[in-house]
Amino acid sequence: MFQIIKNEWLFLVRSRIFLSISIAFILVLLLSVFLGNYQTHKQEQTHQNAKDHVRQQWVSIDEMNPHSAAHYGTYVFKPSNLLSSLDEGVNSVTGNVLKVEGHVQNEIVHSEASQMQAVSRFGKLKPSLLLQYIVPLLLIFLAFNSVSKEKQSGRLKLMVLQGAKPLQIILSKTVSVWLYGIVLLTFILLVYSILNFQSFTAEILKRTGLFFLSYCFYYFIVSGLTVFFSSRWQNATVALTSMLGIWIIWTLFLPTILMSSAEKWHSLPSRSEFQAAMQEDRSKGLDGHNPSDERGVALKEKVLKEYGVDSLSQLPINFDGMRMQADEEYGNSVWDKHFGNNRDVLKKQKNSFQLGGLVNPFISLQNTSMGFMASDNLHHQEFLLQVENYRRVFIKMLNDKQTFGGSKTGNWGWKEDNAFFKSVPDFDYKTTQISTVLSNYMLDLGFLILWSILVTLLLVFGTKKIQIV
Amino acid sequence: MRNLTIFFYEWKHFVRSPFKIVAVLLFIVASMYGLQNGANLYEKQNTEIERISKEAENERETILSYFENNEKGPEKKPWIDVTTPYWAIGNTPTYHFKKPSPALVYTIGQTEQYGFYKAIGTSSSPYDADMAKEIANPERIQSGTLDFSFVILFLLPLLLLVLLYTIKGQEAEQGFLQLVIVQTESKNWWILARTAFYTLLLLVILLGLLLYGAMLTNVFETVMVFWNVLLWVSIYLIFWVIIYFLILKYGQSTVSNTLQMIGIWLLFAFIVPAAIHQWISIEKPTNLMVDIIDVKRDKTDEIYNQTNELTDEQLFKLYPNLKQTEIAKDTLRIITARRSSIRALINIAMKDATAKVEEDNRSKNELISKTYWLNPVTYFQNKLNQLSNSHYNDYQNYRNDIQNLVDKRIEIMVLDIWNDVKVDKTKYLEYNKRLNK
Residue A39 is nearest to which of B145, B166, B278, comparing CB atoms? B278
How many residues are there in chain B?
A: 437
B359: chain A residues, CB-CB within 8 Å: none
Determine, for residues B117 and A377 on separate chains, whether the beta-carbon distance falls below 8 Å: no
Q: Partners of B225 in the beta sheet?
A: none
Residue B277 is nearest to which of A94, A119, A268, comparing CB atoms? A119
Q: Which residue of B has its CA nearest to A254?
A: B146
Q: Which residue of B has its CA nearest to A34?
A: B278
Instruction: Please write the tens of the pLDDT for every residue from A266-316.
Output: 999 988 889 889 988 888 877 766 666 778 788 888 888 988 888 888 888
C-alpha–C-alpha distance, residues A116 and B360, integer Å: 9
Secondary structure letter of residue B420 according to DSSP: T
Predicted confidence at residue A233, as pLDDT, reads 81
C-alpha–C-alpha distance, residues A349 and A261, integer Å: 9
Interface of B with A in 394-423 (CB under 8 A): 395
What b/e sequence results for A267-286 when a residue is b if at least 16 CB atoms lie within 10 Å of its CB, and e otherwise? ebbbbbebbeebeebbeebb
User: Does residue B380 have a pLDDT over 70?
Assistant: yes
B166: chain A residues, CB-CB within 8 Å: 237
C-alpha–C-alpha distance, residues A238 and B295, integer Å: 63
Residue B254 is nearest to which of A46, A111, A237, comparing CB atoms? A237
A377: chain B residues, CB-CB within 8 Å: 137-139
Reported as half-sphere exposure (CB side, CA atoms, 13 A), residue B160 has a value of: 32
What number is the average pLDDT over the span B245-260?
88
The span from the first CA to the last CA of chain A, in angstroms, equals: 20
User: Smallest CA–CA separation between B323 and chain A, in Å?
Assistant: 32
C-alpha–C-alpha distance, residues A246 and B317, integer Å: 68
Q: How many domains does chain A have?
A: 1
Residue B287 is nearest to which of A115, A120, A137, comparing CB atoms? A115
Predicted confidence at residue A78, as pLDDT, reads 94
Residue B255 is nearest to which of A126, A236, A248, comparing CB atoms? A236
Predicted confidence at residue A289, as pLDDT, reads 67
Predicted confidence at residue B287, as pLDDT, reads 92
Residue A38 CA, distance from chain mean position:
20
CA angle A277, B104, B369 (to 5 degrees): 110
Secondary structure letter of residue B253 according to DSSP: S
User: Does residue B70 have a pLDDT over 80?
Assistant: yes
How many residues are there in chain A?
A: 469
Residue B139 is nearest to which of A121, A248, A259, comparing CB atoms? A259
Interface of A with B in 221-280 (CB under 8 A): 236-237, 240-241, 244, 248, 252-253, 255-257, 259-260, 262-263, 268-272, 274-276
Which residues of chain A are under the pLDDT cut of 70?
A: 288-292, 467-469
For chain B, domain boundaries: 2-37+150-268, 72-147+285-435
Conformation bin of residue B185: beta by default, left when phi > 0, alpha when psi is -120 to 50: left
Beta-strand runs (E) in B292-348: none
> In whole angstroms, how far apart are CA B344 and each of A381, B311, B349, B421?
37, 10, 9, 18
Predicted confidence at residue A267, as pLDDT, reads 93
Is A147:B300 a contact under the CB 8 Å cutoff? no
C-alpha–C-alpha distance, residues A290 and B80, integer Å: 12
Predicted confidence at residue A149, as pLDDT, reads 81
> In whole angstroms, how far apart are CA B50 and each of A214, B99, B108?
47, 10, 20
Is A188:A127 a contact under the CB 8 Å cutoff? yes
The closest of A381, A353, A380 to A367, measured between CA atoms, is A353
Q: Partners of B119 in the beta sheet?
A: B95
Give a yes or no: residue A286 inside a domain: no
Task: Please state the three-class secondary structure of chain A as a single string.
Answer: CHHHHHHHHHHHHHCHHHHHHHHHHHHHHHHHHHHHHHHHHHHHHHHHHHHHHHHHHHHCCCEECHHHHHHHCEEEECCCCHHHHCCCCCCCCCCCEEEEECCEECCCECCCHHHCCCCCCCCCCCHHHHHHHHHHHHHHHHHCCCCHHHHHHCHHHHHHHCCCCHHHHHHHHHHHHHHHHHHHHHHHHHHHHHHCHHHCCHHHHHHHHHHHHHHHHHHHHHHHHHHHHHHHCCCHHHHHHHHHHHHHHHHHHHHHHHHHHHHHHCCCCCHHHHHHHHHHHHHCCCCCCCCCCHHHHHHHHHHHHHHCCCCHHHCCCCHHHHHHHHHHHHHHHHHHHHHHHHHHHHHHHHHHHHHHHHCCHHHHHHHHHHHHCCCCHHHHHHHHHHHHHHHHHHHHHHHHHHHHCCCCCCCCCCCEEHHHHHHCCCCCCCCCCHHHHHHHHHHHHHHHHHHHHHHHHHHHHHCCCCCCC
Determine, for residues A110 and B288 on separate chains, whether the beta-carbon distance falls below 8 Å: yes
Give a yes or no: residue A158 inside a domain: yes
Instruction: Please write the tens of the pLDDT for every residue from B387-416.
Output: 999 999 999 999 999 999 999 999 999 999
Count the neighbouring beta carbons within 10 Å of the beta carbon of residue B302.
14
C-alpha–C-alpha distance, residues A320 and A327, integer Å: 10
Cβ of residue A114 closer than 8 Å to a chain B Cβ: yes
C-alpha–C-alpha distance, residues B39 and A352, integer Å: 24
Determine, for residues A274 and B297 on separate chains, whether the beta-carbon distance falls below 8 Å: no
Secondary structure letter of residue B255 according to DSSP: H
A272: chain B residues, CB-CB within 8 Å: 48, 51-52, 55, 117
Determine, for residues B77 and A290 on separate chains, whether the beta-carbon distance falls below 8 Å: yes
Q: What are phi and psi of A193, to 5 degrees?
A: -65, -40
Predicted confidence at residue A292, as pLDDT, reads 66
Mean of per-residue pLDDT scores for chain B: 91
What number is the average pLDDT over the span B142-170?
91
The closest of B400, B376, B396 to B386, measured between CA atoms, is B396
User: Smallest CA–CA separation between A191 and chain B, in Å?
Assistant: 18
Give a yes or no: residue A307 inside a domain: no
The span from the first CA to the last CA of chain B, in angstroms, equals: 63
C-alpha–C-alpha distance, residues B327 and B334, integer Å: 5
CA dihedral in degrees (B136, B141, B143, B146; nearest 10)?
Answer: 90
Cβ of residue B58 closer than 8 Å to a chain A Cβ: no
Question: Is residue B1 very low, low, confident or very high in pLDDT (cuts 50, 70, 90)?
Answer: low
Helix (H, G, I), strand (E, B) or coil at B63: helix
Judge residue B317's burial from the number of C-beta atoms within 10 Å of its C-beta, 0-12 exposed, 13-18 middle, 19 or more buried. exposed
User: Smallest CA–CA separation between B186 and chain A, in Å?
Assistant: 27
Cβ of residue A56 closer than 8 Å to a chain B Cβ: no
Predicted confidence at residue A468, as pLDDT, reads 65
User: Smallest CA–CA separation between B311 and chain A, in Å?
Assistant: 22
User: Smallest CA–CA separation between A94 and chain B, in Å?
Assistant: 6
CB pairs under 8 A between A and B: 231
Give a yes or no: residue A296 inside a domain: no
Determine, for residues B392 and A121 on separate chains, whether the beta-carbon distance falls below 8 Å: no
CA angle A257, A259, A263 (to 5 degrees): 115
Amino acid occupying residue A402:
Q
Amino acid occupying residue B187:
K
Q: Which residue of B has its CA nearest to A73?
A: B297
What b/e sequence results for A135-165 when a residue is b if at least 16 CB atoms lie within 10 Å of its CB, and e otherwise? bbbbbbbbbbbbbbebbeeeebeebeeeebe
Q: Which residue of A has its CA nearest to B134?
A: A271
Residue numbers of the domain that contains A419? 2-266+339-462
Cβ of residue A303 closer than 8 Å to a chain B Cβ: no
C-alpha–C-alpha distance, residues A89 and A382, integer Å: 15
Helix (H, G, I), strand (E, B) or coil at B81: coil
B174: chain A residues, CB-CB within 8 Å: none
User: Smallest CA–CA separation between A144 and chain B, in Å?
Assistant: 10
Determine, for residues A134 and B270 on separate chains, whether the beta-carbon distance falls below 8 Å: yes
* Strands A416-417 vs B117-119: parallel, antiparallel or unpaired: unpaired
Predicted confidence at residue B207, as pLDDT, reads 97
Interface test mutation site (partner B, options A17, A93, A106, A368, max chain B beta carbons within 10 A): A93
Residue B293 is nearest to which of A54, A95, A244, comparing CB atoms? A54
Secondary structure letter of residue B76 according to DSSP: T
Determine, for residues B290 and A113 on separate chains, whether the beta-carbon distance falls below 8 Å: no
Cβ of residue B138 closer than 8 Å to a chain A Cβ: yes
Residue B282 is nearest to which of A38, A114, A276, comparing CB atoms? A38
Give a yes or no: residue A238 inside a domain: yes
C-alpha–C-alpha distance, residues A361 and A367, integer Å: 10
Residue A118 is nearest to which of B132, B298, B378, comparing CB atoms? B378
Is B264:B359 a contact under the CB 8 Å cutoff? no
User: Smallest CA–CA separation between B48 and chain A, in Å?
Assistant: 8
